Each structure stands twice: as C-alpha cells, then as structure tokens.
Amino acid sequence: MNCGFVALIGRPNVGKSTLMNHLLKQKISITSRKPQTTRHRILGISTTEAGQAIYMDTPGMHNSEKRALNRYLNRTAETTLLGVDVIVWLIDGLSWHEYDEVIFKKLEQAGLPVILAVNKVDKVKEKDQILKFFSEAQHRFPFKHLIPISALKRTNLDELESLVIALLPESDLIYPENQITDRPERFLAAEIIREKLTRRLGEELPYALTVEMERYEEHPTITKIYAIVWVERLGQKNIVIGKDGEMLKKVGTDARIDIEKLIGQKVYLQVWVKVKKNWSDNERAMQSLGFNDG
C-alpha cells in the first residue's frame, strides 16, 4: 500500500480544516469564518483500499509575528513541512496574495511533491479562467498536480485523495485502519468549546482566548468535563460570560451537544472563565496551556 504524511498548508481562512474534515468524512478540526481558528497541528488519518493518507491540518501561514502566539502559529505551520511526504497547498480563488511569495520559497526549500488545490471553484463563473490560472501557476512552480475543488461541497475531493495517495511511498499501514486522529478526546472536546465560542462571539471574540481542560472524567454512563476559558483582561471575561451568564450558557449547550456526538455518551459540562494577563505573549504561559506543537 501507499502510506505517508500529507501537509495541508495555506494562508489563514482558506478552508484547510474544512477540507480535512470532508476528506475524512468526520469532523476532527474545528472551523469558523474567523482567521487563525486552527492553532495546533491536527492529524487526521484516512485509510482506503488504495492506502493510508495521514493529513496534517496546520495553522494558516501569515506575516504578523508581533506576539508569541503569532510566532507559535507560524512555527507550527512551518515545522509541519519537515517529515512529510506530500504537500497540498490550498489557495482561495484564482489569485495570489502577498504572503504566497513566502510560501513559494518554503516549497522550493522543502523539495517535496506539491499539489496545488484551488478551493471554492463553485464561485468561479468562467471556467476557462481556471485553465488560464493553472497554466500561469505551472510556470511559477513545478506542481505535480493542479486541481480545482470545493471543500465544502466535496467537489473533486475523491480525485484529490487519489492524486495524494499515488504520490505517497509504499509502506505498511502506519496507524490502525480504524483510527481517525492521534488526538485524545479531551483535546477534541476543548477544541469544540473554543469553536462554539468563536462562532457565538463573532466579531466580539477576543483573539487571546484559549480553552484548557481542567478535568475529564470518564464514567460508565456519563463523561464529566470541567473546562477553563482563559482570556487576558477582565473586559474580555465579561464578553465571554455575557449578560446574566447567557453567552456562556449558550456556548456550553452548543459544545455539550457536539461532544456527546463525538464520544457517543451523555456529557456533563462545566465551563469557567478566568483571566491570565497577556498569556498570548508569554512563551511559558503558552506552554502551560498546551501550546507545544511549534
């Protein structure tokens, strides 16, 4: 069989997490319209008769490195290119952006086979524009394949996976065929809580917000989860809690429903909000909160 590791890279908010979820036909990475929703390297395993593709969803590569959290996100994305067999570069639409020039250089240095996947092609009205863009792209970099896709609508995803597996080396299975990710359920539960915060708060969402799992207790008929939402200022804490605690209640309800679907068991969920001043610009504080990928 062909088996190996595949890095999904690209700028923030181009649809990498949505792509991985639809390739796996199961939700592993959280998604939102907010840039830089993905903060950790998330591994998703797809095993078919043709082989095993181990996808690595990464934070979006970006210019800003003002704070420790920004530097961590870029470091995590870049180190993912080490030790993979194939790179899928996902871009959004038929145009290049400023930071794409940096990505071109990183791909040249990596020396790995690269597939260029153009997302959201369902929004392109003139299909000949796709062919023209692909022709120009092939002159800029020796892509192994160029493919138009829609991650959300699953357009050409089977074709993409076939191209990926064909480029992977021959190998025995690296993970058991029924394994979907290497992340424990407690990590996925914390990510689900953060996703619900991201979606509920929208533009009010404090960028410096993270979720820490304080306790995760598995019992025969129920799983009890105690989580902390960390923010940097008292004003942010008030936003997350909401008037009379309504926002936090809604987030907790949304998260509990999804966590119950994930683990297939009744869940008791308790969420607190606490302040840790400037944690997103403190390397030691970030490590204590589980930021260890970068």
pLDDT tens profile 14-65: 899 999 999 999 889 988 777 777 778 889 999 999 999 999 988 777 666 6
Shared-domain flag, residues 156 and 250:
no
DSSP bridge pairs for 56: 7, 43
Single out the residue in 141, 167, 193 at which a domain terminates.
167
Say how far apart CA 101 and CA 115 lie, in whole Å: 16
Shared-domain flag, residues 138 and 221:
no
Domain annotation covers residue 180: no
Distance from the Cα of residue 270 to its chain's centroid: 25
Say how far apart CA 99 and CA 246 lie, in whole Å: 40
Domain annotation covers residue 50: yes
Single out the residue in 167, 199, 219 at which a domain terminates.
167
Range of the domain at 235: 185-288
Domain annotation covers residue 151: yes
Domain annotation covers residue 179: no
Shared-domain flag, residues 163 and 73:
yes
Shared-domain flag, residues 57 and 143:
yes
Domain annotation covers residue 54: yes
Single out the residue in 100, 134, 167 at which a domain terminates.
167
Distance from the Cα of residue 21 to its chain's centroid: 9
Domain CATH number, residue 262:
3.30.300.20
Shared-domain flag, residues 6 and 150:
yes
Domain annotation covers residue 53: yes
- The pLDDT assigned to 263 comes to 94
Inter-axis angle of helices 185-201 and 234-241, nearest 10: 90
- The single-letter code of the amino acid at 157 is L
Say how far apart CA 32 and CA 15 lie, in whole Å: 9
CA distances from 284 to 7, 80, 234, 268, 279 (A): 27, 22, 21, 31, 8
The stretches in the chain having pLDDT less than 50 are none
- The pLDDT assigned to 203 comes to 76
Domain annotation covers residue 248: yes
- The pLDDT assigned to 213 comes to 95
- The pLDDT assigned to 163 comes to 97
Domain CATH number, residue 6:
3.40.50.300
Instruction: Give 87's contacts (C-beta < 8 A, 6+ positions apart).
Output: 6, 7, 9, 81, 107, 110, 112, 113, 114, 115
- The pLDDT assigned to 142 comes to 96
Specify the number of domains making up the chain. 2
Shared-domain flag, residues 27 and 162:
yes
- The pLDDT assigned to 64 comes to 63
Say how far apart CA 44 and CA 120 lie, in whole Å: 22
Instruction: Give 277's contacts (C-beta < 8 A, 6+ positions apart).
Output: 232, 233
Domain annotation covers residue 17: yes
SS3 227: strand
Shared-domain flag, residues 84 and 200:
no
Shared-domain flag, residues 159 and 202:
no
Shared-domain flag, residues 115 and 152:
yes
Say how far apart CA 226 and CA 253 lie, in whole Å: 14
pLDDT in tens, 211-223: 999 999 999 999 9
Shared-domain flag, residues 145 and 196:
no
pLDDT in tens, 197-211: 999 987 777 678 999
Inter-axis angle of helices 246-263 and 185-201, nearest 10: 140
Shared-domain flag, residues 189 and 159:
no
Shared-domain flag, residues 14 and 141:
yes
Furthest C-alpha separation in the chain: 59
Say how far apart CA 294 and CA 291 lie, in whole Å: 7
